[in-house]
Structure formats: C-alpha cells, structure tokens
Amino acid sequence: MTHFPMGHDHNLMTKRRRKQKNATTKNDSPEPKIPDGAVPADLSKQVPNNSYSGPVTYYEDMPFTCIDCGTDEIWTAEQQKWYYEEAKGSLYATAVRCRPCRKKHKEARKGNVGDPNPIKHQGSIFKRIQKALEPAITAAGFTFERRIILHEKWSAILEYSRGDFQLSCWYDRPNATLIAEVMDEQENCSEIANVPFNAPESQAAILNRMDLFCSAVIKYLENFEPGEQ
C-alpha cells in the first residue's frame, strides 16, 4: 500500500475545487454581445482556424477597395456567412475583388480566351494609363481636368488642358479601341493615338496594347509645340 504525506489529500481536494470553480466561471460567462446589424455566426459550420484570437462569432458589413478596378465595395455580412459557413472558406481570407472582377479573374485562371472586349472596367484601364502618362503630361505643361465615365456607352474619357489646347484620351468600348486626340482653340482635332483591343488573348497582350497607346501619346507630348500639330 502506498502512503502519502498528510497534506496530499488536502492538496488534491484544493486542485479539484479550483478546477470546478474555473469550469463554473467559464460556463457562467455571458455570451459575447453582437453589434446591431451584425449577423450571428454558426461556429459549428466554420472551418477551424487555429487562431489565438478565437472564433468569429458574428459578421459585419466590410468595406473594401477592389484591387483590380479600384471601385469601393461592401462585402456584406450575409455574403461572409455564406462564404465561411457554406463554402467553407478560410477565416483568414477576405474580399479583395468586386464581383465582376472576381468573375474575370476566375475566367483568366481557367485560361478562357476570345472575349472581344477583355477590359470590363474603365477604372482599371484609366488608372494605369493616367499613372503612365503623368510625367509626360506634366513636362508638356498640361494639367489634369477631369475623368468622365459614360456608363450608357461603357466608355471613359481623361481630359487635360494647356492654355487653349485640350488633350483627350478615352476607351471606346463599343469599338474596343483606345484613342487620343488634341484639339486647339479653333476646335481643330488631331488624332495622336489609336490602338485597337480586338480580342487580345492574354493579360500580357492587353498590357502590351496599353503600353503602345501610352508610348504614342508620350512621344507626341515630348515634341508638342502649340501650332505644330
């Protein structure tokens, strides 16, 4: 028979009582409060995340900016609930693309080709073009005036001015073409760039044609002198 010190039973009882107290305290702790407008989460349907921060107990509308087209979007609480619980998405994942760009990205990953108008968003193409042209635009003395989105024609225009001269760059979606023109004070127009987007078969091809367009505009601006269009 094994003999224990006299204090052994007392220590064992103390540990048991402490364990029971902790369990009771944990069970009696109030449920986390869910903010107004939030959607409660079903933890049993979430994929375990092994995170020290604990489980996600509710979902709230989450604003984000699409990394492709730059539009401001909302990933709704209902969409998050479906993604995390029905689609079994990782709790570490979050929304980074709007729905149209997400569809386009998915098709590109599948290798689909042949779309006659592969650029679906004016924001995406003109954000890149505006950034590429900015140094040459500034050096030539032009200033940015405005960007116009023609939703009814799915087209967009960038306008710059220098004195009585106006430089316009736009994506003509119906004809899938990038065009740039300069207009003087007598409203005489000169086309300085025209690059078609007739079904490029890859992202690299799209970027190449955008570069061709920007190069033509930049070359013109480097030699621009009023009265010599």
123 CA to centre of own chain: 11
pLDDT, residue 119, reads 54
Would you state the torsion angle of the CA atoms of residues 104, 67, 215, 119, taken in this order, to the nearest 10 degrees? 20
Q: How far is CA 217 from CA 117, 165, 167, in A?
A: 22, 15, 10
pLDDT at 132 (0 to 100): 87
CB 171 within 8 A of CB 178: yes
- CA distance readout (Å), 44 to 16, 48, 189: 30, 9, 66
As given in the structure block, the two tokens for residue 67 are 């990394």
For residues 199 and 175, what is the distance between their CA atoms, to the nearest angstrom?
11
Helix (H, G, I), strand (E, B) or coil at 180: strand
Q: What's residue 29's pLDDT? A: 47
154 closest CA partner among 194, 123, 111, 132: 123
> What does the pLDDT read at residue 82?
92
pLDDT for the residue 22? 56
**Cβ atoms of 41 and 70 closer than 8 Å:** no
What stretch of H or E contains 150?
A: strand 143-150
Unique residue bearing structure tokens 């005489």:
188
Q: Read off the tokens for 48.
A: 């375990």
pLDDT in tens, the chain (229 residues): 444 444 444 455 555 556 555 544 444 445 567 888 899 999 898 887 655 556 789 999 989 888 778 888 999 999 999 988 998 887 777 888 888 888 887 777 665 544 545 455 556 777 788 888 889 898 989 998 887 776 555 567 889 999 888 999 887 777 778 888 988 888 888 888 888 876 666 777 777 888 888 888 888 888 776 544 4
What DSSP state is assigned to residue 227?
T
Q: What is the dihedral of CA 148, 61, 93, 95, to 10 degrees?
A: -10
